[in-house]
Amino acid sequence: MNPTPWYKNFWPWFLMFFPLVTIVACVLLVFVAVGNGPDLVVDDYYKKGKAINLELTKFDKAKALYLHGDLTVSDNRAVFTFTKGDHSKVTAIKASFYHRTIKIHDFSTTLLKNADGQFTATLQQFEPGAYTVFLQPMDESWKLKENIHLPTENTVSISPEYK
């Protein structure tokens, strides 16, 4: 009687099936994990932390000038109006909108002063979501920050308190 070769039997293939599927799944998982890294990870966090500490002095400058204002973002239009503080030397404001999780949705614009004393700009098409907005003059001497959810019809009050 001649025994059948091992590769013609059911049990060796059944026993090899699960380890092979596990190996293929692990390789696919590694490719997916390497190709889709998070946007929020910073390579040199120490330098980034030092830069953040330098930026905090700009918030203190806004606090010293007692700058407060209202921001409205609706229908692809941004309007910022100062409500308090010394803003007499400001002719334009840089507004930077940073999406909280997806870096490709970040955008910035320049708000120009009109005859009513408001700073306005037409915005490009943006993705809805949670954003952090930074407002600063063109000389970057001070900075204001607020968390906002776009699009919104509500007016957002911005104060120099760093949050």
Domain assignment present for 79: yes
- Looking at residue 38, what is its pLDDT? 66
Confidence band of 39 (pLDDT split at 50, 70, 90): low
CATH of the domain at 137: 2.60.40.10
Confidence band of 11 (pLDDT split at 50, 70, 90): very high
Domain assignment present for 104: yes
Residues 79 and 143 in one domain: yes
* Long-range contacts formed by 145-149: CB under 8 A, 24+ apart: 145/59, 146/71, 148/71, 148/73
Count how many domains the chain has: 2
Residues 109 and 29 in one domain: no
Confidence band of 117 (pLDDT split at 50, 70, 90): confident
Q: How far apart are CA 138 and CA 136, in angstroms?
A: 7
Q: How far apart are CA 24 and CA 103, in angstroms?
A: 32
Q: How far apart are CA 106 and CA 125, in angstroms?
A: 11
Consecutive H or E run containing 43: none
Give the structural domain span for 12: 6-35
Domain assignment present for 40: no
Domain assignment present for 146: yes
- Looking at residue 84, what is its pLDDT? 85
Decide if 131 contacts 97 (C-beta within 8 A). Answer: yes
> What's the predicted TM-score (pTM) here?
0.67
The sign of the dihedral angle between the CA atoms of 29, 34, 40, 43 is positive
Domain assignment present for 163: no
Consecutive H or E run containing 62: helix 45-64
Residues 28 and 49 in one domain: no
